[in-house]
Structure 1
Amino acid sequence: MICEVGYDKTSIEAIARRAGVSKQTIYRWWPSKGAVILEAATESLSTVVTLADTGDIVADIRTQLTAILNLINTTGFGPAYRCLIAAGQSDPELLRTVFDQIIEPNIEDFGARTALAQQRGEMRADADWHTMRDLLYGVVEYRLIHAMPLEPEYIDGVLEIVFHGAR
């Protein structure tokens, strides 16, 4: 629905009408339209954020980021997520929930996967995984929020810089 009419024109009433339930039913489960949209976005994202372990951390991150870009570029996830972030600027609880449900679980997964990669020698043992995370995923957030193109080839360039430097 949000993809059809936009965030501002999406309402609890319209969501309830589309679902064939009363708006009281919607409010029983979600406190706001942002919460409804967040749950839908989280479900969409959950299918692509798994960070595999093939023994090649760069290939695993490339696979994950490419799947995320595909979701952003071919579904309504990108516009919905941008709207959630925008709505979160005036709704700190929504923004915190976005962090708790979408960002934090992925930070934990990335931290665990990079720790394993460091133990195995897939990457330097002293590599700062927090900064790597910010560079890899922050660029996706930045480009998504600003409606800039997100192409798999761009991800290859970011991976090259993060894992091999700019020299």
Structure 2
Amino acid sequence: MSPHKAPDSSRRSDRSRRAIYDAALALVGETGYARTTIEGIAARAGVGKQTIYRWWPSKAAVLMEAFLDLAARQAEEAAGEGEGGIPDTGDLAADLRLVLRATVDELNDPAIAGPTRALTAEGIVDPDLGARFVEHLLDPSIQLYVTRLRAAQASGELRADIDPRIALELLIAPLTHRWLLRTLPLTHAYADAIVDYALGGLSAEPRGGAPAHDTR
């Protein structure tokens, strides 16, 4: 007879964590953050609530980790398909339209919108969670825009004196504003208009004056 093999506790823990991640994301998407509870996550995942409390201090922490895991898996899939990041085809407007349309699709996806909205709201009242949200989720995306805009500066598509950090806010802030307020639809046409307005400007004629720079 072969010797009895002890259960692999690390494997069991990984399965439990994955079940908890999936349960947290699903519940927030279905019922909203306020109605999602540790007890509900535990029941959905098929684990005891003490298991969750042993690993996380709050449902916000569970959701944060679950969403980070989701983002990491999506990044791996995109990399495997040769995607990820902002493309550089030599046509900045076309590249930005492509990525903003993809952002619109993500923000309109309940599986992503629910957790993102919950973390955004909770991060306002929980500074530590908000800092983690910015560091691990927002900043990496922002850096992709900075890299693409700097490449456009180098190729002469953009003015050399603009601050890419300020310029990218002209692109992503309107999407976030409309998405948070939920007063108007978030569409591809709107994303295209943002790119056109940001790159083309609003004035009928060029205006002078020293550019403002972000000192952060």
Cα distance in 2, alignment partners of residues 86 and 52 from structure 1: 31
Residue of structure 2 in register with 1:68 after alignment: 103
2:10 maps to which residue?
none
Deviations 1:41-94 (A, max 9, x none): 442595587322222222222111111111111333223322222222221111
Q: Residue 128 of structure 1 is aligned with which of 163, 168, 176?
A: 163
Question: Is the 1:16–1:23 contact (alpha carbons within 8 Å) kept by the matching residues of 2?
Answer: yes
State, as a whole percentage, how many aligned pairs show the same letter: 38
1:84 aligns with 119
Q: Where in structure 2 are there 5+ consecutive unaligned residues? A: 1-26, 79-83, 205-216
Q: How far did 1:28 drift?
A: 4.1
* Residue in structure 1 matched with residue 47 of structure 2 by the alignment: 21
Give, as a single letter, the amino acid of the residue that structure 2 aligns with 1:162.
A
Residue in 1 that maps onto 2:91: 56
Unpaired runs of at least 5, structure 1? none
Alignment counterpart, residue 3 of structure 1, candidates 19, 22, 29? 29
Query: What is aligned with 2:133?
Result: 98
* Structure 1 consecutive aligned stretches of length 4 or more whose deviation exceeds 3 Å: 27-31, 39-42, 44-49
Whichever residue aligns with residue 11 of structure 1, its letter is T
The Cα RMSD (Å) is 2.1
TM value normalised by structure 2? 0.69
Q: Whose Rg is larger?
A: 2
1:161 maps to: 197
Tell which deviates more after alignment, 45-54 or 18-27. 45-54
Task: Report the Cα distance in structure 1 between the residues aligned to 2:33 and 2:166, rounded to whole angstroms.
Answer: 32
Alpha carbons 2:29, 2:113 under 8 Å: kept = no
- What TM-score does the superposition give when structure 1 sets the normalisation length? 0.87
- Quick one: which amino acid aligns to residue 133 of structure 1? L
Alpha-carbon spacing, 1:29–1:140, altered in 2? closer, same or farther (3 Å): farther
How far is the alpha carbon of 1:154 from its aligned partner?
Answer: 0.9
The answer on whether the counterparts of 1:44 and 1:77 sit within 8 Å (CA) in structure 2 is no
The separation in 2 between residues aligned to 1:105 and 1:7, in whole angstroms, is: 24
Partner residue of 2:208?
A: none
Please say if residues 2 and 80 of structure 1, whose CA atoms lie closer than 8 Å, have aligned partners that are also in contact.
Answer: yes
1:91-116 per-residue CA deviation (whole Å, 9 max, x = no partner) reads: 11111111111111112221112111
3-state SS of 1:86 partner: helix
